[in-house]
Amino acid sequence: MPKIVDHEQRRLEIMEATWKFIARHGFEKLNLRDLAASAGYANGALKPYFPTRNSILMATFKYVVDSTEARIARGTVGLQGLAAIRAFAYEVLPLDDDLRDEACVVIHFWHVALEDPLMARQHASAMDEWRSKLELWLAQIPGIEPSRIILARDALMSYLLGAQISATLDHVGQSRAEFLSQLEYLLESLH
């Protein structure tokens, strides 16, 4: 009797293996043969799910974005204002090894997005979603001047994206405590 394969589960496993591979070895070293070996599959086993390197990259980028969005949704449910912004930031900041790896993968995709219009649109859509959420939560802060909402939103976006870069590229690095202190400093400035 043939083995029954859950194809959707297999696709998820491959995407997770891909983002872990990129985080550890970099984007340039990614090829389907090495990826299959690192995921524990035979050479060629990925082709039915992702026929090209680019198809797996697109799916993996979407997987990382969707995973982040799901964490944000769970972390911010029922929250408003500063509490929601803080919870949102906790899901984006590179506060542990997994989130640092995720940031590393996202940075690799930024490079690809510079030359791939479809991936650039995917990234832009995710950033538009973040901006919308931040605007909503900023507008819920008592006493915040409406004229400062866009400025505050953009400052928070720059900080969050910059923290991802800093965590992966800065040889000094920053600790969880340092990132959280910086976040609190920014949030205090909103009052």
Judge whether 23 and 81 are in contact, CB under 8 Å: no
In a domain, 20, yes or no: yes
Q: Domain for residue 2, yes or no? A: no
The answer to whether the beta carbons of residues 141 and 115 sit under 8 Å apart is no
In a domain, 64, yes or no: yes
Mean pLDDT of 83-112: 91
Residue 67 belongs to some domain of the structure = yes
Residue 160 domain flag: yes
Q: Is residue 1 part of a domain?
A: no
**Both tokens assigned to 154:** 């953009």
| Nearest residue to 156 (alpha-carbon basis) of 141, 168, 169 | 141
Range of the domain at 176: 7-188
Question: Per-residue pLDDT averaged across 98-118, rounded?
Answer: 87
Its pTM stands at: 0.86
User: How many structural domains does the chain have?
Assistant: 1
What is the C-alpha separation between 63 and 69, in angstroms, rounded? 10
SS3 140: coil
CATH number, domain containing residue 177: 1.10.357.10
Domain assignment present for 71: yes
Residue 142 within any structural domain of the chain: yes
pLDDT, one tens digit per residue, over 4-19 is: 767 788 888 888 888 8
3-class state of residue 148 by DSSP: helix
